[in-house]
Chains A and B, each alone.
Chain A
Amino acid sequence: MANSSVADQEGQVMLLGFWFSPFVKRVEWALKFKGIEYDFVEEDSTNKSALLLNSNPIHKRVPVLIHSGNPIAESLVIIEYIDETWKQSPILPEEPYERAMARFWASFIEQKVTEPTRAALFSQGEQQEKKVKEIKEAMEVVEGEAKAKLNDKTLFFGGGNGVGYVDIVLGWTCNWMETIEEVGGFKVLDPESQPQFHKWMANFREVPFIKPTLEPKEKLVEFFRMVRQDRLGLVANE
């Protein structure tokens, strides 16, 4: 595999992932944004490889970035590593206070939008209703932030015409949120009450390095429908 154990810009970059994972996609966006060449290893979620299990023994999940033989797990940790190792096209802002704001919003999105959406996908009835309410409340905050920061000249949270950390962290919503709504049987997206957020999603989808990476909705819906049925089927039989 890799020759050197010292992380350097020339070392081989491998990304272990699933085609359907929004967490993996984020890492790909970060790599593509910087123009970093990498080998993508499609893992089988029903039969995880020895490489994956050895590279991420704690969580045993994707994404895992392996750089010069050194593995890094957790999508946000990986993105910061990428930003600090390859200095071109910065993802996080330079100024410490702006970096803190970007990290704060990333943390908010993960805790209040991403996690409850995952939970809503894998629940039903009252439990799901609770999560949907959480997501809706969080989306109000996101819309507020979009209203405050974005306009005709500033299309993205990264500032100006370029995407940044917050866009990459939030980006999964532009494709997966509708999928999960359909599969889970709920609604949190509303163009009427979230006009700025919908503008942002439309712009994000069109970014030249993002657009070709977005999976067709029908393919995602079919896959996640199966995943949800599997998960809920198990719960019902316990």
Chain B
Amino acid sequence: MPEEGVKLFGTWVSPFSRRIEVALKLKGVQYEYIEEDLTNKSPALLHYNPVNKQIPVLVHNGKPVAESFVIMEYIDETWKHNPILPADPYERAMARFWAKYIDEKFWPAARKIVVAKGEEQKGEIDEIQQQMKNLEGELKEKKFFGGESLGFLDIAANIIIWLVVAQEALGMDQILNEEKLPVLYGWLQRLLDDAVFKECVPPKDRHLDLFKVKFGSSIASK
């Protein structure tokens, strides 16, 4: 019997699989969620993504799609109501440009901050604050990057939450603070308040505990 329905392979803490949860929920698509243990990947995951062996993987009627942005575009093209990407090609290009920026510039910078120390860490923080200033230029006066409702770039920017929780776990000063980055700060509050989005954020306490264990040793050795 041919496989039917939608499955999502992910982890509770990965912003990349959380992105897919937001996209599916925004479209009201029913799906089965499978929590993976990345230290012990399931045969199903390895079968559906033999090339990268990574989450997230979306399986739709038995056919797998991998890579978070590829999956998001697939979802938007398959379920056409409540569009995630704008209709205009130029605006779509802008959303894709900034989403790429987040994965290629912001994400590596965020990962460096949690392991760097002293002057090096300060340099990384300055760098990432500049990146966030650049993002503010794209947001401007809008409620969300997508306009009145969440769009592709809002979903992609969920990595910012990863950084916010990591910095809190490490007892650092707020990097995304209201004084330096008022526009993005306001956006983040609205994002965390959004009915759909807030269901797709890792539970705060559990997230903090994990990060304290994972990154906390860098404090001990300072």
Across the interface, do B89 and A100 meet the contact criterion of CB distance under 8 Å?
no
Across the interface, do B97 and A77 meet the contact criterion of CB distance under 8 Å?
yes
B112 at the A/B interface (Cβ < 8 Å)? no
Chain A residues within an 8 Å CB radius of B74:
96-97, 99-100
Given contacts A7-B89, A81-B92, A85-B89, contact A99 B97 (CB under 8 A): no
Chain A, interface SS category: helix
B86 to chain A, nearest CB (A): 11
Segment 74-118 of A: residues with Cβ below 8 Å from B:
74, 76-78, 80-81, 84-85, 96-97, 99-100, 103-104, 107-108
Segment 119-176 of B: residues with Cβ below 8 Å from A:
134
The answer, among B65, B93, B101, B134, for a CB contact under 8 Å with A80, is B93
Across the interface, do A100 and B65 meet the contact criterion of CB distance under 8 Å?
yes
What is the chain B residue whose CB lies nearest that of A106? B70
Interface flags for B56-85 (1: CB within 8 Å of A; 0: not) read 000010010111011101100110000000
What is the chain B residue whose CB lies nearest that of A7? B90
B53 at the A/B interface (Cβ < 8 Å)? no
Across the interface, do A103 and B67 meet the contact criterion of CB distance under 8 Å?
yes
A141 at the A/B interface (Cβ < 8 Å)? yes
Alpha-carbon distance between A104 and B73 when the two chains are bound, in angstroms: 11
Across the interface, do A108 and B90 meet the contact criterion of CB distance under 8 Å?
no
A108 to chain B, nearest CB (A): 6
Alpha-carbon distance between A58 and B67 when the two chains are bound, in angstroms: 24
B96 at the A/B interface (Cβ < 8 Å)? yes
What is the chain A residue whose CB lies nearest that of B138? A58
Alpha-carbon distance between A74 and B51 when the two chains are bound, in angstroms: 25
Across the interface, do A78 and B93 meet the contact criterion of CB distance under 8 Å?
yes
Alpha-carbon distance between A85 and B63 when the two chains are bound, in angstroms: 29
The answer, among A70, A76, A80, A141, for a CB contact under 8 Å with B51, is A141
Across the interface, do B97 and A84 meet the contact criterion of CB distance under 8 Å?
no
A73 at the A/B interface (Cβ < 8 Å)? yes
Across the interface, do A104 and B90 meet the contact criterion of CB distance under 8 Å?
no
A188 at the A/B interface (Cβ < 8 Å)? no
Alpha-carbon distance between A103 and B66 when the two chains are bound, in angstroms: 10
Across the interface, do B88 and A7 meet the contact criterion of CB distance under 8 Å?
yes
B100 at the A/B interface (Cβ < 8 Å)? yes
Alpha-carbon distance between A80 and B100 when the two chains are bound, in angstroms: 13
User: Which of B66, B67, B69 gathers most chain A CB within 10 Å?
Assistant: B67
Across the interface, do A99 and B101 meet the contact criterion of CB distance under 8 Å?
no
Chain A residues within an 8 Å CB radius of B97:
72-74, 77
Alpha-carbon distance between A73 and B74 when the two chains are bound, in angstroms: 23
Interface flags for A101-137 (1: CB within 8 Å of B; 0: not) read 0011001100000000000000000000000000000
What is the chain A residue whose CB lies nearest that of B78? A96
Alpha-carbon distance between A232 and B96 when the two chains are bound, in angstroms: 33
Chain B residues within an 8 Å CB radius of A74:
96-97, 100
Across the interface, do A58 and B90 meet the contact criterion of CB distance under 8 Å?
no
What is the chain A residue whose CB lies nearest that of B90? A7
Across the interface, do B89 and A97 meet the contact criterion of CB distance under 8 Å?
no
Alpha-carbon distance between A194 and B70 when the two chains are bound, in angstroms: 27
Alpha-carbon distance between A22 and B58 when the two chains are bound, in angstroms: 32
What is the chain B residue whose CB lies nearest that of A95? B77
Across the interface, do B90 and A72 meet the contact criterion of CB distance under 8 Å?
yes
Chain B residues within an 8 Å CB radius of A72:
90, 93, 97
Given contacts A96-B78, A99-B73, contact A77 B51 (CB under 8 A): no
- Return 16 A-B CB contacts under 8 Å, by A number: A7-B88, A58-B101, A74-B100, A76-B100, A77-B100, A80-B92, A81-B92, A84-B89, A99-B77, A103-B69, A103-B70, A104-B65, A104-B66, A104-B70, A107-B70, A108-B52
Known: A72-B93, A104-B66. 13 other contacts (CB 8 A): A7-B89, A73-B97, A74-B100, A77-B93, A80-B93, A96-B77, A97-B60, A97-B74, A99-B73, A103-B73, A104-B70, A107-B69, A141-B51
Of all A-B residue pairs in the complex, the 6 with the closest CB atoms, nearest first, are A96-B77, A84-B89, A100-B74, A81-B93, A103-B70, A100-B65
State the A residues within 8 Å of B (CB).
7, 58, 67, 70, 72-74, 76-78, 80-81, 84-85, 96-97, 99-100, 103-104, 107-108, 141
